[in-house]
């Protein structure tokens, strides 16, 4: 087991599996033993990304990522077209056709409008979306989005205590999905739209980069 703080080897006598506690004698960092057990796969090769992922070493940094393209687009796009087209045309189309504004119908249609926007974003992510990390020895950024449009999270390796598989539940979805969870000074969950193989690559690439940052 390695210390998530300084990457030193943890002595067996300093690991308590029953209480899920481990202590590093080199930096005195105390952490959950389960975090140390979830280490990088020894057979993992960062320069051998799976289909739909990429690895681009640069002079002072490394760029790696994966597309969120998914077969769910085959049914998500038709569903979005039918659901959004029908609901919005019934609520707003009639007002436009009759050239009459109805405050009640317009307010009633706001949830359907917001739902349509979220569905359209999911459709775009399932076809054009990506998760991309730009990292160096100090830290980097995690980008999730479409082209240049999306969310960007900055991080420093020294502020990260663990990188693990986890669960995310977006507020606009009813079901949970597997994701990558970064914990430390601040927690960040991402990668829920990646398939299992691409998420595995991103997860282990991050772990490998963190280990090399010390």
- Whether 3 contacts 27, CB under 8 Å: yes
Three-class DSSP category at 87: helix
Residues 6+ apart with CB under 8 A from 121: none
pLDDT score of 41: 58
> If you average pLDDT over residues 116-131, what whole number do you get?
91
47-90 residue pLDDT tens: 999 999 999 999 999 999 999 998 888 888 998 888 887 777 77
Dump pLDDT digits (tens) for 145-158. 999 999 999 999 98
Helix, strand, coil fractions of the chain, as percent rounded to 5: 35, 30, 35
**List of E strands, 17-70:** 21-23, 30-31, 53-57, 62-67
pLDDT reported for residue 87: 76
CA distances from 139 to 87, 103, 160 (A): 45, 50, 10
Comparison of pLDDT for 171 and 136, the residue scoring more: 136
Q: How confident is the model at residue 111 (pLDDT cuts 50, 70, 90)?
A: confident
């Amino acid at each position: 087991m390695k210390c998530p703080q300084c990457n030193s080897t943890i002595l067996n006598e300093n690991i308590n599996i029953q209480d899920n506690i481990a202590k590093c004698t080199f930096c005195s960092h105390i952490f959950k033993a389960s975090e140390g057990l979830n280490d990088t796969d020894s057979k993992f090769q960062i320069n051998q990304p799976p289909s739909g992922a990429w690895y681009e070493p640069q002079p002072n940094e490394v760029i790696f990522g994966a597309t969120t393209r998914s077969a769910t687009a085959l049914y998500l796009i038709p569903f979005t077209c039918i659901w959004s087209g029908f609901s919005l045309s019934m609520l707003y189309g009639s007002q436009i056709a009759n050239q009459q504004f109805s405050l009640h119908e317009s307010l009633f249609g706001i949830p359907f409008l917001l739902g349509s926007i979220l569905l359209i974003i999911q459709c775009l992510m399932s076809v054009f979306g990506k998760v991309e990390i730009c990292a160096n020895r100090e830290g980097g950024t995690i980008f999730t989005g479409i082209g240049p449009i999306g969310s960007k999270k900055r991080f420093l390796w020294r502020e990260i205590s663990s990188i693990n598989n986890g669960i995310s539940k977006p507020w606009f979805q009813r079901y949970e999905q597997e994701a990558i969870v970064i914990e430390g000074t601040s927690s960040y969950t991402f990668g829920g739209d990646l398939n299992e193989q691409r998420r595995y690559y991103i997860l282990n690439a991050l772990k490998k980069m963190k280990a090399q940052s010390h």
